[in-house]
Amino acid sequence: MAFDALPPIGLGTFRLQGDTARDAVRTALSLGYRHIDTAQMYENEAEVGDGITASGIPRREIFVTTKIWHDRLKPAELGLSLRHSLERLKTDHVDLALVHWPSPDDQVPMADYLGALRQARDDGLTDHIGVSNFTTAQLTQAREILGDTPIFTNQIEVHPFLANRKVVDHAQTLGIQVTGYMPLAVGRVMEDDTLMDLARHRNVTPAQIAIAWAVSRHIVPIPSSVRPDHLKANLDALKIKLAPEELAAIERLDRGERLADPAFAPAWD
């Protein structure tokens, strides 16, 4: 089946390697996750594919995302690189293929690589296409280039210390789903007094509060974890409905703390 929307939470696999990646994917799927996120740059697509196969869950029931690295955006290379990803993932298609980062300094024109990405979709390599780390201006440009071809998501960094409101609001205004990576701020949410206090009152964890906050903003979080108890807790966070005063307290934590900011990043909003 082809998914018409992103599952509400996914497993992020950044930094997961070898058997750790295989086991995390297999365990997540056994617990009920149906959304797995990887990327060419993570160098774990083969292990992610192994974990999917080992889970015994039918491939058609799992939403798989991979991302194309910025050195493979030339039209002659993009489709081939995605075919290599499919080989590593041991599948004939992914559900979503993203441009991982906009081409640094527009070395490859956006119209060229988005056109190649659309062609990859037309060729059956992916059901949906989207972008990652795009600014509001880049999203507007992408929408103009792709026209009637839907942009399935803009995957961006979002956590209580980087609400990324301008990009989130703009994407949602354009009808583009936002996927939030690093929703736990690489563990920093576990050390925040406000989040710890909110969690204590609900007898949950600060990580669950952070995930529930992202979901309240209609963002699909993709936290990374390897421990079964943490994987289950992150999934259970979907059941938490935060009160307006709790949401307001979390909103006040925004300090623009960006954790993913490589030298080739665009000029952020």
At 181-227, the pLDDT tens digits run: 999 999 999 999 999 999 999 999 999 999 999 999 999 999 999 99
Tell how far CA 173 is from the center of its chain. 19
Tell me whether residue 122 is exposed, middle or buried, using C-beta atoms within 10 angstroms of its C-beta: 0 to 12, 13 to 18, 19 or more: exposed
Our answer to whether residue 42 is catalytic in this structure is: yes
Is residue 99 within 8 Å of 131, Cβ to Cβ?
yes
| Options 33, 42, 113, 181, the catalytic residue | 42
> What does the pLDDT look like over 3-49, one tens digit per residue?
999 999 999 999 999 999 999 999 999 999 999 999 999 999 999 99
Mean pLDDT, residues 234-250: 98
- In this prediction, residue 89 carries a pLDDT of 98
Mean pLDDT, residues 151-172: 98
- In this prediction, residue 77 carries a pLDDT of 98
Mean pLDDT, residues 109-128: 98
Is residue 23 within 8 Å of 52, Cβ to Cβ?
no
- In this prediction, residue 206 carries a pLDDT of 98
Residue 2 confidence class, pLDDT cut points 50, 70, 90: confident
pLDDT over 70 (residue 1): no
Please report the domains of the chain, with CATH numbers, ordered by start residue: 11-185+219-225 (3.20.20.100)
CA distances from 70 to 15, 31, 92, 152 (A): 18, 33, 23, 19
Tokens of 131: 């972008």
Mean pLDDT, residues 124-147: 98
